[in-house]
Chains A and B, each alone.
Chain A
Amino acid sequence: MSVLSDPKGYWADLTRAEQGVLAFVLGFALLLLLGLLTGGIGPSYFLFLVGLAGMYALLSFGLNAQWGYSGLINFSVAAFFGIGAYGTALASASSSPLAGGIPPIVGLFVALALAGILALCIGIPTLRLRADYLAIASIGLAEVVRIIILNEGWLTNGSAGVRGIPGFFEGWPVLETFPETMPGVIVSFLPGPDIVLGTPFWRALLNVALVLTLVGICYLVLRRVHRSPWGRVLRTIRSDEDAARALGKNTYSYKMQAFVLGSLIMALAGVFYAHLNLYVGPGDLNPITTFYVWVAVILGGSGSNRGALFGGFVIVAIQQGTRFLNEFAWIPVDVAPLRLLLIGVLIVLLMRFRPQGVLPPQRELIWSSVVDDAPSQPDRGVRGSKAGESDD
């Protein structure tokens, strides 16, 4: 039973929350499309938003592998994001105080290696700690990383940040020159002003293709991982670590593996960000990034990858949507605090009314092959499962 062959049945089979989310996403997409058609949103900016949403989805995936799967309260998301961005930036940027000029694809692996090392450096001391201590210790260590990047100018350019980062496809055959060689297309049959699809548009399209590839790979890997025996052990650790230990599992080692896996995915988001923004600075490591990602994961439903996707989407909507409020002069408040207020209120309301998130993982406590009558749509059915409730 798929969406195309039986849309009605598909709809009826969804939970209320899933119906709500689907309706919301469709409505939002329609709104964006309308904005595109009437010229309210430039097509390159639209693609930039998609790229940003993909980036937050990656970050949420990473945190989900740590918190949602294995219950690790990692508050150092910003550090891994930053180390990923700085890793590739320092390798490839023209203004890099270190090597510079290395192809971005190598920078990607430099970033991943750095993130792996950082994950071990943070994980080895902290993963044995009790849940709330882990939160405090990891945010402290993330701040240490930020302070080092801010102050070691010989290594990172200090507060000036790194400029002159090339696009990700620099040095690739065909793709490097793709945006320039593509013809400019002018769309003029629409209402509103003509839309010009020039070089920036094609460049943005490439970026979106990149992030969608990354998101797709991570989603498939994580889904596979989640249903593997390895993922089952992680879930056991999350719900009852003593039980996992009694079964002879080395829980510390499993937690470390999940921590490193999640951190690498976060670094991937950082790599994408560096080549999207073409500039990284110490401000990108501010703890606020960590909290944004936490909101995304909790909102989506801890442990649920679809939820992480949705959460990332909402975060970008809040982040970028509040920008538009600048255009309404009659709103007396500044946008930055309004965004902060929205995020704060969202956290409180979520914890108050739906601590398990909007799209909690619904089959995680059941052996998947038992209920897998439709492998193409694996994560639905089985209502009222309480999995993913945030409790230690």
Chain B
Amino acid sequence: MVLDLLANGLVYSSIIVLGSIGLSLVYSIADFANFAHGDTMTVGAYSALVTFGAVGGLGGAILGLPFGFFVALVVGIAMAAVVAVVTEKVVYEGLDVGSIGLLITSIGIAFVYRAVIQMGFSSDFTRYDIQALRPIEALLPYGVRVTEHDVAIFVSAVVLVTGLHVLLQYTDLGRKMRAMADNPDLARVSGIRTDRVKLWTWVIGAGLAGAGGVFLGLYGRLGPRMGFDLLLVIFAAVILGGIGSVYGAMLGGVLIGMVNQLTPLLSGVGALVPMVPDGWGIGLEYANALAFLIMVVVLLFRPTGIAGDGEGT
């Protein structure tokens, strides 16, 4: 049972990590809490849905996913990035309202994204047209129930995150982004074209969010609220890891994803704690609530997060 929960935790964490990196990047470089980030994930998911409907079961298949799905994934990433860049250019760039004003604006943007998706696809849930798989036989003796799709989500997330790591550590753009996240003013006076770096940040952050959204649709199902419902969990991950730190966001994402999936272990907690009735426990329905409580506790006692740099307060 624990192994199974851990395995599912890894898969769920992959999605959370993809979402939290972008949120953290934008938080540190554009300097506001982007409430539209969850709906950017939804944009990616629905773009992939449309693309997959068009290209269908193209060619062969990897891990139970037709090649067409990977085309759809790329389109989902691209669309999320394009939408984010257009929003930045049209809305955020011209605003002079401080970080709180930007936060409130991003709520409006989130509504616009969601409303447009809902107009196009109705508010009903839908799925990718891919056959659901049975759990992998070889792992069943260990009590682990994961499908090849879950493995594909995990592997793709690892590839994307590794790619980001290489970009941040070994390329010129990555160095500039790190410099800007550290100290935007210093970055500007040392000749970095900060607006260009900012734009790339949006592209990368939203692109990863788009990928997260595509996988979220594959993991469960698609609905116009799917990204927004995940947003607070992603915030919890980002804050736990330390706002502004990409590696912190990865770590926080893994931890929050794990806590989320491991919550059923707490269902027997009533038997262990005195003064609490035996049958009482924390079920899966409280998984998100637990993440939010962790978030508040972290904010209280270590607002810079576990990997933060001390700038958070």
Contacts and interface: CB of A to CB of B under 8 A. Distances in A.
A294 B104 contact: yes
Contacts of B94: 352
Contacts of B102: 351
B239 interface: yes
Contacts of B222: none
A341 B97 contact: no
Residue among A143, A291, A352 with max Cβ neighbours from chain B (10 Å): A352
Residue among B32, B91, B283 with max Cβ neighbours from chain A (10 Å): B91
Given A130-B303, A136-B239, A343 B111 contact: yes
Interface in B67-84: none
Contact of B300 (A125, A139, A333, A352): A125
A348 B108 contact: yes
B33 interface: yes
Nearest to A135: B103
B295 interface: yes
Contacts of A45: none
Interface string B246-285: 0000000000000000000000000000000000000101
Given A294-B104, A334-B123, A345-B112, 11 more contacts: A143-B232, A143-B288, A338-B115, A340-B118, A344-B115, A347-B105, A347-B107, A347-B111, A348-B105, A348-B109, A351-B105
Nearest to B33: A132
A344 B119 contact: no
Contacts of B239: 133, 136
27 contacts: A126-B296, A129-B303, A132-B100, A136-B33, A137-B299, A140-B236, A141-B292, A141-B296, A147-B285, A147-B288, A147-B289, A150-B285, A151-B285, A294-B104, A334-B118, A334-B119, A336-B123, A338-B119, A341-B112, A344-B112, A344-B114, A347-B107, A347-B108, A348-B91, A348-B109, A391-B101, A392-B99
Interface in B284-313: 285-286, 288-289, 292-293, 295-296, 299-300, 303, 313
Contacts of B293: 140, 144
How big is the A interface, by class? 35 or more
A319 interface: no
How big is the B interface, by class? 35 or more
Interface of A: 73, 125-126, 128-133, 135-137, 139-141, 143-144, 147-148, 150-151, 291, 294, 298, 333-334, 336-338, 340-341, 343-348, 351-352, 355, 389-392
B107 A352 contact: no
Contacts of A140: 232, 235-236, 292-293, 295-296
Decide if the interface of chain B is mainly helix, strand, loop or mixed.
Answer: helix
Contact of A144 (B108, B122, B289): B289
B133 interface: no
Contact of B32 (A132, A141, A345): A132
Interface in B37-95: 91, 94-95
A344 B109 contact: yes
A390 B114 CA distance: 25
A389 B91 CA distance: 18
A74 to B, nearest CB: 12
A378 to B, nearest CB: 28
Residue among B33, B107, B123, B303 with max Cβ neighbours from chain A (10 Å): B107
Contacts of A141: 292, 296
